[in-house]
Amino acid sequence: MEKKKILVLGGGFGGVFAAKSLEKLGRDKVEVELVNGNNYFVFQPLLPEVAASSIHSADAVVPLRQLLRRIQVRQAEVMGIDFEKKNVIVVQGARRVPIDLPYDELIIALGTGVDLDRFPGLPEHALTMKDLADAHRLRTHVIGCLETADVTDEPDVKRQLLSFVVVGGGFSGVETIAEMRELVTRALRYYPNIEDGDVRMTLIEYADRILPTFPADLAAYATRRLRMSGIDVLTGIGTKSATGTAVELTNGTIIPTSTIVATIGNGPHRLVATLGLDLHWARIKTDRYMRVPGHEGVWALGDAALIPLVEDPGENPADYATQTAQFAVREGQQLAANIIANLDGKALKPFAYTSKGSLASLGMSKAVADVYGIKLSGTLAWLLWRGFYLSFLPGFTSKLRVGVNWLVNSVMPPNIVQIQSTPPATRYNHYRKGDRVFEPGMLIDGFYTVIKGRFRLTIDNPETGEHFEKVFGPGEHFGERVLLRSALRTGLVVAQEEGVLLFIAQKDFTRFARAFPFLDNYFKDYIDRTFGGADKAFAPGSTNHKAELERLP
């Protein structure tokens, strides 16, 4: 009998455990392949520790090939699924040729995505905590803030750099701010010009209390603990909008900050959103056996799926499997058993599981735990937390790596190495009324186009007394001088109302302009038309552009 081809999309807890169980239960009947965008499994609960540099980035993850020795692992991007033809289309590596992966049974285990669109400015300016790159980015960002705060002479800039905001008081938000607090506290001795009192940490939760999945008394303990370590815990307040320099709350409070972490806004996975499947609460509706109704041979599990625990589920979240690792692991095992049962013509079993409890780390060797109905807090809970996650971490190698990390880190100064990465070439920036986009004396480092709102440019020449001003609206642009030469801004640009700008970095803008010879003329005309005689300091042709041209063979 030819083996059935089973394709698993997604390498999180659900996908990995489904694949492992399938291989174990049906080695002779099925051929399993797992497709994932990264070549590693992310141990989500340890991401805040990566952000706090308690453990190395690479140690909070496990290579999928090491975890799934007898299963074909394919690092690829899923472009689409043809449910009719039972075919998944992927692209892999640098050669962008779509490849067909036919399947007999398909398991969708893609998890969820982040959707912050309801909060103006949050998609543009907030960091998230979904994957390893996020955790790494947050760590780098926090250390960068300390580096600049230590040497800046501007009190406003220093205040903003030392203010850290986390939006969302769930499990992930609480652990993230607790770990950030610990990192900053431990790192401060290397930053002689920063006092502990200069640092401000804020946790914002829309509900009346943090940690909604925990009993109220444990949540209260956690709140006290966080406050004791110097974190402002704001509950019953929502987040309204964000910019590159501040976050605005629903009560009108404005908190200056360069660091906003959003742990809210679960949306469907980017691909799941386009599949035309029946979604509810951004999750794929399945039956109690984890089959996707109306699509033969398609199954879903984990955070991506809405799996009923009862016969007639309603709008009560308790009617469905919760989105935790514990559930995903059991779902994977049950789903594998169901697929094999199905192949064998046996009866499927509905998914059933009761949570064994929850744990949340509060930093500084404290935690809260609610396990098998027993409530714990403090150091004992923290030891339980570490022990539990170490045991839960798949693979001996990973356990050893994380264990060694924890040991080394406990006797060592914090690792404040900042491995920088290049910011994106084009990005959207959100501004509130009155925000400065740039001011005289700043380096010209990019080009701006107005997407939304109005922005006023003012140029004053202190020597000649000349004054120039112009308001830019959607579709208009400023900062063309970036093309002409590297120099300092002479103008001040201020948002006249809430607005969005598209920023294009100097190097990329110069290259782009060069792709279109006619743009050169366009800019010459535009500059004449817009500024008249106000700014005569334009040099003909861009030095950067020229330098690049000359360098080329």
CB of 397 vs a copy of itself, minimal distance in Å: 5
Nearer to a copy of itself, 154 or 311 (CB): 154
CB of 512 vs a copy of itself, minimal distance in Å: 5
Q: Which residue has the tokens 């609460």?
A: 281
Nearer to a copy of itself, 279 or 425 (CB): 425
Nearer to a copy of itself, 359 or 437 (CB): 437
Do residues 302 and 108 touch, judged by C-beta distance below 8 A? no
Give CA–CA dist 444/491, Å, rounded.
11
Token output for 146? 């300390």
What is the DSSP secondary-structure string of 348-366?
P--------EEEEEEETTE
CB of 108 vs a copy of itself, minimal distance in Å: 20
CB of 413 vs a copy of itself, minimal distance in Å: 6
Nearer to a copy of itself, 321 or 501 (CB): 501
Nearer to a copy of itself, 281 or 522 (CB): 522
What is the DSSP secondary-structure string of 3-41?
PEEEEEE--SHHHHHHHHHHHHHHTTTEEEEEEESSSEE
C-alpha count within 13 angstroms, C-beta hemisphere, residue 107? 38
CB of 316 vs a copy of itself, minimal distance in Å: 31
Q: Among 327, 384, 385, which residue's Cα sits nearest to residue 356? A: 327
Q: How many CB atoms lie within 10 A of CB 192?
A: 8
Helix, strand, coil shares, percent, the chain, to 5? 35, 30, 35
Nearer to a copy of itself, 462 or 533 (CB): 462
Residue type, 351: F
CB of 64 vs a copy of itself, minimal distance in Å: 9
Token output for 326? 């514990």
Do residues 44 and 51 touch, judged by C-beta distance below 8 A? no
CB of 130 vs a copy of itself, minimal distance in Å: 15
Ramachandran region of residue 219, left (φ > 0), alpha (ψ -120 to 50) or beta? Answer: alpha
Nearer to a copy of itself, 88 or 376 (CB): 88
